[in-house]
Amino acid sequence: MSQKQYNVKFPKKVFSGKGSIEELKGIVSMTGASSVCLMTDPGVAGCGLAKLPLSVLEGSGARVTVIDDVPREPSVYDVQDTYRKLKDDAVDLIVAIGGGSVIDMAKIMSVAMTNESLIEDLRAEGAITEPSLPMAAIPTTSGTGAEATANAIFLYPEEDLKVGIVHEYMIPDFVILDVSVTCGLPPALTASTGVDALCHAVESYISVLSNPFCELFSLKAVQLICRSIERAYSDGNDLEAREDMQLGSFYAGLCLTTSSTVAVHALSYPLGGKYHIPHGVSNAVLLPYVMEANLECCREQFTTLAPYMIQGIEEVPEEQWPQKVVDYLYELMKKLDIPDSLTGFGVKPEDLDYLTDNAVKVERLLLKNPKKLTKEEIKNIYKRLL
Ligand SMILES: [Fe+2]
């Protein structure tokens, strides 16, 4: 049997545990930084979460520039604006505290500052040649896994399109998993970002690119997320559940660096670009439907996943486990109040062809789905949601 080839890419240092934000001081001295940019968004800044990292950074003796206006779905123009604000500051370390958008912005800035031409055209082939500035990510949501991955997503408004920029220089050098900064995440965001992380874990596990490294982290991520997502949703201050979600999301992000997402994320793209449905929400809406479509091709994988996902599954005959995985996902979305229709987001039956045509274009992910989904099958999935 031939061995699958895969590369493992990893952040250089991961600090975990309550209070680990204090490690920022050590990061400043480790990198020798004298000018630091602390990047966040108005929501995180507004609820005071940026205060602690700011005071630790200021206490380190470095000069600190704060950018606190990263929008929720940054566009390519927001990237250019942020670059203009930073370029004259001789910044030599970027620290991001926030969700996926903030971390994505920090990642692209870390390479834009050393690869100036990138800012003219983020999609230009070969524009990233120089290593990035050192960057630290402090995730406040548990979902995107942006703190572990090499990609960043930006909106091209004229094209109604979200585009992923990928380069291994964009993997954050330092990750700080401090559970205390995730407690303020509202229930609806806890649910949708948490299911996004579950999608990363499950999709990368069934992807044709799955490999032993990915399997290790995806099974653990599924276990952590499934045992805690309902608790984190119903009680945001349940620290144990929050810790599971944070670690599960990070592990699921690591899976993406060696494997890939598949059809859930592919079908999600047109929903994000045109209808501006948040990434986690569109993935959560799609997840059970796409897994049901994959069921016959994934009986073996779903059988392995079942005990990590469903408590007490051992009492059910093993041949029923794959179907139980699909049933569990439908039930979980109900419990988390994830909508089972797209109509509430302004998607209409006459949009079916637009959605299908644009999903089919996401070949990059569809080709990694274990089942080759036909155009008709993709259309049917959207149809069931209208
Ligand atoms: Fe995602």
Measured in angstroms, how far is the CA atom of residue 380 from the centroid of ligand 1? Answer: 22
Cα of 88 from ligand 1 centre, angstroms:
33
DSSP annotation string for 179-233: GGGTTT--HHHHHHHHHHHHHHHHHHHHSTT--HHHHHHHHHHHHHHHHHHHHHH
63 alpha carbon – ligand 1 mean position (Å): 34
Residues 283-324 pLDDT 10s? 999 999 999 999 999 999 999 999 999 999 999 999 999 999
Nearest-CA neighbor of 162 among 31, 252, 69, 72? Answer: 72
315 in the same domain as 242:
yes
Ligand 1 geometric centre to CA of 378 (Å): 19
Burial of 341 per CB tally in 10 Å (0-12, 13-18, 19+):
exposed
Confidence of residue 42 (pLDDT cuts 50, 70, 90): very high
Token pair 């930006």 in the structure block, residue: 154
Structural domain for 146, as ranges: 13-181
CA of 279 to the centre of ligand 1 (A): 6
Question: Looking at 155, 181, 207, which one is the last position of a domain?
Answer: 181
Question: 44 CA to middle of ligand 1, Å?
Answer: 20
Whether the predicted pLDDT of 381 surpasses 60: yes
Beta bridge partners of 164: 153
Instruction: Point out the domain boundary residue: 181, 206, 224.
Output: 181
How far apart are the CA of 137 and the centre of ligand 1, in A? Answer: 17
Tell whether 98 is covered by a domain.
Answer: yes
Residues 171 and 39 in one domain: yes
Q: Identify the CATH number of the domain in which residue 117 sits.
A: 3.40.50.1970
What's the rounded mean pLDDT across residues 128-142? 96
Distance 369 CA to ligand 1 centre (A): 15
pLDDT digits 0-9 by tens, 186-232: 999 999 999 999 999 999 999 999 999 999 999 999 999 999 999 99
The structure tokens 């050393």 sit at 114
pLDDT tens, 15-26?
999 899 999 999
Give the Å distance between the CA of 253 and the centre of ligand 1: 9
**Ligand 1 center–CA 100 separation, angstroms:** 9
Residues 224 and 355 both lie in one domain: yes
Residue 196 Cα, ligand 1 centroid: separation in angstroms? 5
Average pLDDT over residues 24-50: 96
How many separate domains does the chain show? Answer: 2
What is the average per-residue pLDDT within 345-358? Answer: 96
Mean pLDDT, rounded, of the chain: 95
Confidence (pLDDT) at 1: 45
In the reported structure, the alpha carbon of residue 213 is separated from the centroid of ligand 1 by a whole-number distance in angstroms of 19
Residue 280 CA, ligand 1 centroid: distance in Å: 6
- Ligand 1 centroid, distance to 334 Cα (angstroms): 20
Q: What is the mean pLDDT of residues 361-378?
A: 96
3-state secondary structure of 109: helix
Q: Residues near 331 by Cβ (< 8 Å), separated by ≥ 6?
A: none
Note whether 59 and 145 are same-domain residues: yes
204 in the same domain as 155 = no
Residues 283 and 267 in one domain: yes
d(CA 224, ligand 1 centre) in Å: 17
The CATH number that applies at residue 324 is 1.20.1090.10
Dig out the tokens for 356 from the structure.
């299908």
pLDDT tens, position by position, 250-273: 999 999 999 999 999 999 999 987
For 358-367, write each residue's pLDDT tens digit. 999 999 999 9
Q: How far is the CA of 91 from the centre of ligand 1 (A)?
A: 29
Q: Give the pLDDT confidence of 77-132 residue by residue, as tens digits.
A: 999 999 999 988 889 999 999 999 999 999 999 999 999 999 999 999 899 999 99
- Determine the pLDDT at residue 2: 52
| Stretch 318-340: mean pLDDT | 98
What is d(CA 67, CA 39) in angstroms, rounded to the nearest whole number?
5
Distance of CA 201 from the midpoint of ligand 1 (Å): 10
Q: Can you give the pLDDT at residue 273?
A: 78
Structure confidence at residue 274 (pLDDT)? 83
DSSP 262-284: -HHHHHHHHHHHHH---HHHHHH
pLDDT on residue 7: 87
> Domain check: are 234 and 319 in the same one?
yes
Band (5; pLDDT cuts 50, 70, 90): confident
Q: Tell me whether residue 53 is in a domain.
A: yes
Phi-psi group of 278: left, alpha or beta (phi > 0 → left; psi -120 to 50 → alpha; rest → beta): beta
Tell me which DSSP letter residue 150 carries.
Answer: S
Look at residue 342 in the predicted model and tell me its pLDDT.
96
Helix residue spans in the chain (DSSP H): 24-31, 42-46, 51-59, 76-86, 100-112, 187-206, 212-234, 239-258, 263-275, 279-294, 299-309, 321-335, 352-360, 363-366, 375-384
Q: Is the pLDDT of residue 3 over 80?
A: no
3-state secondary structure of 62: coil
Phi and psi (nearest 5°) for 47? -95, 10
93 CA from centroid of ligand 1 (Å): 26
**What's the 324 CA to ligand 1 centre distance in angstroms?**
24
Strand partners, 215: none
Measured in angstroms, how far is the CA atom of residue 259 from the centroid of ligand 1?
13
Residue ending a domain, among 181, 211, 229, is 181
Average of per-residue pLDDT across 336-347: 96
